[in-house]
């Protein structure tokens, strides 16, 4: 029975015009064929039909007043996808691309990513088609308060614990938490990614970027190699990219690039991470101003990108870390990477590689860390923040970092062992998908038809 084709056909009827969601489901189900064929319980319990449908989808209006006194309206989302392993956990994204398809694909991916961590958390995702860039603090505060005025009804430390994502940092989490506390009268861990002043965890900001680099290093260690001495390409200029770049330096590699929505910087001497932090975390400015300090670096505006991909992937390097957004790494990009000597790809973003590009990576036997495994460090550390909140403690940076390294190593080991179990050693897409699925599916079966 072709579960992938049948499921996608059903979803196209029940959830029309959601291409990113179909893509995520297809990628997972294609990998699950060996376990579905070998174990009848997953077929008999209709796990596939149940796991692709969210337990709850919330869509709501977010009205707010801008600095000119004009009323603006955005659309908010929270998809609570699966709670078999614990409270829903997944970030909130504020970006103009946010729609039902994007949120559902992210929430679906989150189920398996969270399962891979081994921690007691389910999968969810949310956000709004709001653009924080260019808005005043007052406008962002009013938007966040309006957003939380609806969302607060659906979240809580034992129900659903959102975190940050693209466009949602400590500032936005702070405004939302303040409104949550005001509306509920409770000071509790209903959000993660909080400021260190009031319940946040050390290393949360660094966790996703650090984690994807740790994962890459574990993949290489398994082959008797390491990142030391490697030249690396990184896309993005948010938390994931910045701290991937920082950790690459710490492990002896040289990151050569970064990018934002307006263009790409390539610096053959290595990206100045201190300058990058100043531009993006302090000034919130365009990467073109990197040239003010390093005029010899190369800046490529989006208008000059190749028509078949992204400028950041067209340079010589040993490893690539897509840390920006979905479908940023195309088939042509992967061909260019391979021709330029790249032998490793580790995903810091969610589903950054197209289906066609993944096929090329697998055919070329490139060492490949899929996002649900390689970028799970962020949600893992969010859960560690939940644990600290519940016990009213704060752990040291080193304590959190040690736990992150342990979790990332366990994710790699588990995915790698499952890939061998099903006769495709080194195929970490298959290994990660089956490992995550098996944990969630077994819990769903034990909890009955709910």
- Catalytic residue annotation: 125
Specify the pairing of strand 231-234 against strand 160-164: unpaired
**In terms of DSSP bridges, do strands 56-65 and 122-128 run parallel, antiparallel, or are they unpaired?**
unpaired
Phi-psi category of residue 212: left, alpha or beta, with phi > 0 → left and psi -120 to 50 → alpha:
alpha
Q: Tell me how far apart the alpha carbons of residues 241 and 243 are, in angstroms, rounded to a whole number.
A: 6
CB 267 within 8 A of CB 255: no
Neighbour-count burial for 287-323, b at 16+ CB within 10 Å, e otherwise: beebeeeeeebebbeeeebeeebbbbbbbebbbbbbb
151 within 8 A of 76, measured Cβ to Cβ = yes
Q: What token pair was written down for 250?
A: 């710490």
Report whether 311 contacts 264 (CB < 8 A): yes
């Amino acid at each position: 029975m072709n579960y992938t084709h049948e499921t996608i056909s059903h979803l196209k009827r029940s959830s029309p015009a959601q291409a990113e969601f179909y893509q995520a489901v297809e990628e997972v189900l294609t990998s699950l064929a060996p376990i579905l064929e070998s174990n009848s319980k997953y077929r008999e319990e209709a796990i596939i039909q149940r796991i692709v449908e969210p337990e709850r989808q919330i869509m709501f209006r977010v009205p707010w007043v801008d600095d000119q006194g004009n009323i603006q309206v955005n659309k908010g989302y929270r998809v609570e996808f699966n709670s078999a392993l614990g409270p829903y956990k997944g970030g909130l994204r504020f970006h103009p691309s946010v729609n039902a398809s994007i949120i559902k694909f992210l929430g679906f991916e989150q189920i398996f990513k969270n399962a891979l961590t081994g921690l007691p958390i389910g999968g969810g995702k949310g956000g709004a088609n709001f653009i924080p860039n260019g808005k005043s603090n007052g406008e962002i505060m009013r938007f966040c308060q309006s957003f939380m005025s609806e969302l607060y009804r659906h979240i809580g430390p034992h129900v659903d614990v959102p975190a940050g994502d693209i466009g949602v940092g400590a500032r936005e989490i702070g405004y939302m938490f303040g409104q949550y506390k005001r509306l509920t009268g409770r000071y509790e861990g209903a959000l993660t990614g909080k400021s260190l002043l009031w319940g946040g965890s050390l290393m949360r900001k660094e966790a996703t970027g650090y984690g994807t680099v740790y994962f890459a290093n574990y993949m290489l260690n398994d082959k008797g190699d390491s990142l030391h001495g490697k030249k690396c390409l990184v896309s993005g200029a948010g938390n994931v990219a910045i701290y991937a770049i920082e950790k690459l330096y710490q492990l002896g590699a040289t990151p050569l690039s970064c990018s934002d929505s307006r263009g790409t910087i390539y610096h053959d001497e290595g990206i100045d991470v201190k300058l990058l932090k100043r531009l993006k975390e302090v000034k919130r400015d365009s990467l073109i101003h990197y040239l003010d300090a390093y005029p010899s670096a190369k800046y490529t505006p989006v208008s000059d990108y190749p028509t078949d991909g992204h400028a950041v992937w067209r340079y010589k390097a040993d490893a690539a870390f897509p840390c920006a957004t979905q479908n940023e790494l195309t088939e042509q990009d992967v061909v260019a990477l391979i021709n330029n000597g790249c032998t490793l790809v580790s995903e810091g973003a969610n589903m950054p590689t197209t289906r066609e590009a993944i096929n090329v990576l697998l055919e070329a036997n490139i060492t490949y860390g899929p996002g649900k495994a390689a970028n799970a460090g962020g949600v893992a550390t969010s859960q560690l923040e939940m644990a600290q909140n519940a016990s009213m403690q704060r752990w040291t940076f080193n304590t959190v970092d040690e736990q992150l390294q342990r979790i990332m190593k366990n994710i790699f080991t588990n995915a790698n062992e499952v890939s061998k179990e099903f006769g495709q050693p080194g195929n970490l897409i298959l290994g990660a998908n089956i490992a995550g699925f098996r944990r969630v599916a077994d819990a769903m079966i034990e909890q009955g038809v709910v």
